[in-house]
Amino acid sequence: MKNYIKTGILISILSLTACEDELTKDPIGLVTQDQVNTTPTVGTVETAVRSSYEMLSNRLNILADWDWGGGLVFQNDYVMQDIASDDMEKKWVIDGDQPWMDDLNNFTFTSTNGGPNGLWKYNYEGIKRINIAMNILTNPDVEVPGLSAERKNQLLGEGYFLRSYYYFSLVTNFGDVPLILRPVESYQEAFDVAVRVPAADIWAQIKGDLTLAMGLLPNSKYSSESEKWRASKGAAIALLAKAELYTENWNAVPGLVDQLAGLGFSLNSNYFQSFTAEYNDNEVIFSFDHQTNATPRRGNGICAPLGWGFFAPSTDFLNAFETNDPRLLYTVDAPNQNVNKMLGSLNGANEGNDDAPNNKVYIRYADAILWKAEALLETGDTAGAVAIINQVRQRARNGVDANGNAVPAGTLPDRATGADAATVKEWLIHERRVELGFENQRMLDLKRWGIAQEVMQAHGKNFLPRHMLYPIPQSEVDASAGLLTQNEGY
């Protein structure tokens, strides 16, 4: 039996290797490397893969019990990408609750802030979990009795996707990060891998893994008709398109996005359906399957802090919507202080519920075709970009609004196809903001467009060049005895 570094769970690379009391509980369903080495069964491999999905859950307290200061009560996507941007405020009423969120909102945070700490730990825990499964699935000398070749390929494809998703989050938020592709089995090895590798190498690994995933996952909309929540070929294609977009490989993006329609993805007729439907819509490409009353629990816990007054729109965000744009009320009902998109309801249902059933949407088709529009614009096809922008606007204005009324005629008129590239870029920036509001995209968009400092300072925030990346958690730097270097300015 190998001496695997457990500490209950290796969340980050070093800081928890010898400190089990850093965590207050063992996650349900976790498979350790010792178990896999001793009993490589279908059940242990399946559980190892499934447990990695858990890091994408909005369930509360996955890694610790009410560790607010450490950023571990829930995933920090909404804090790091929405509250930190010009779209969202911490709460509807200004107060002193959770000042670490205020520091992120105001860009006065340091390397000890809980936001980056939680983001780092969630992602590396997901990587650790999936590496356990992939270490078995890629080992030619290990046979798992009862595991068919078809199922093995599917699980491995899911693994490549999940690992890529976690590394996408790490590289876009921290830049150079340690690259860990197999379980860490000794303290020395833990120190050996606690070295940041260039972001270019992380991107290459992401793209390589996603290419492998595309070839392994079933050539269908869903990997499994009975488990539609699993990562699919469409999810791998979409994430690869996003990776190509973020690395400015514009020519690769349109062809990848076009493959999604062939798998059955398209815009829903109703904008809000993506946030209420349970895998019977056209648009959602990848989401976490939240379920209420499940054992173990897998409800959408982010609805609980909404009941405590967290997550409110900025005035600037509300003012960004054009007159009668139905997406505003579908996203947030400001008069009643309901964030509809996060609640998955239009009447306040699920607010305060820490076991809500609404899914967490990570990738949907509208987002993907706007990537294509951006790539077309960057390669000189302004008319093609405008056509896609108009497609998104047309869906938004068709049908009924959140009150069930027809959208007034003349709402969201088509953009002119003859506009210059600079104007089309402004239209694209606007359309992504109102279409994808409160979906954890805004800050990453502003940074990759190179306008984050301009926009944030205009919004009254102290955004400086160093804020293009978040700091490596100081606890990680300290635990590595300086092997893990800090981002500049922190």
Binned at pLDDT 50, 70 and 90, residue 192 comes out as: confident
Mean pLDDT of 353-360: 98
Q: Do domains 1-216 and 248-437 have the same CATH topology?
A: yes
pLDDT in tens, 326-351: 999 999 999 999 999 999 999 999 99
Contact 115, 467 (CB under 8 A): no
SS3 127: helix
DSSP structure class, residue 287? E
Q: Angle at CA 476, nearest 5°, toward 192 and 8? A: 80
pLDDT at 28: 42
> Hey, which residues does 291 pair with through a beta bridge?
298
pLDDT of 8 strictly over 90: no
Q: What gap in Å lies between CA 234 and CA 193, rounded to an integer?
A: 32
For 178-243, give the secondary structure using H, E and C: CCCCCCCCCHHHHHHHCCCECHHHHHHHHHHHHHHHHHHCCCCCCCCCCCCCCCCHHHHHHHHHHH
CA distance 154 to 223: 7
Task: Indicate the pLDDT class of residue 2, thresholds 50, 70 and 90.
Answer: very low
Which pair of tokens denotes residue 61?
A: 């307290």
Q: Give residue-wise pLDDT tens across range 388-421.
A: 999 999 999 998 999 999 999 999 999 999 999 9
Residue 5 has pLDDT above 60, yes or no: no
Q: Say if residue 145 is preceded by a cis peptide, omega within 30 of 0.
A: no
Residues 6 or more apart whose CB falls under 8 angstroms from that of 246 comprise 172, 203, 448
Radius of gyration (Cα) for the chain, nearest Å? Answer: 22
Tokens of 73: 């009560």
CATH number of 1-216: 1.25.40.390
Mean pLDDT of the 301-319 span: 98
Beta bridge partners of 91: 310
Task: List the structure tokens of 474.
Answer: 């100081």
pLDDT above 60 (res 238): yes
The tokens of 94 are what? 């200004």
Sequence spans of domains, the chain: 1-216, 248-437
With beta carbons less than 8 A apart as the criterion, state whether 219 and 233 touch: yes
At 186, the pLDDT band (50, 70, 90 cuts) reads confident
What is the C-alpha to C-alpha distance for residues 52 and 287, in angstroms, rounded to an integer?
14
Q: How far is CA 333 from the centre of its chain?
A: 24
Average pLDDT in the chain: 92
23-76 pLDDT per residue, tens: 334 444 455 555 555 568 999 999 999 999 999 999 999 999 999 999 999 999
Cβ neighbours of residue 413 under 8 Å, at least 6 residues apart?
393
Instruction: Please tell me the distance from the alpha carbon of residue 187 to that of residue 28, in angstroms, as a whole number.
Output: 25
Does residue 116 register a pLDDT over 90?
Answer: yes
Phi-psi region of 440 (alpha: psi -120 to 50; beta: other; left: phi over 0): left
Indicate the fold that domain 248-437 takes in CATH.
1.25.40
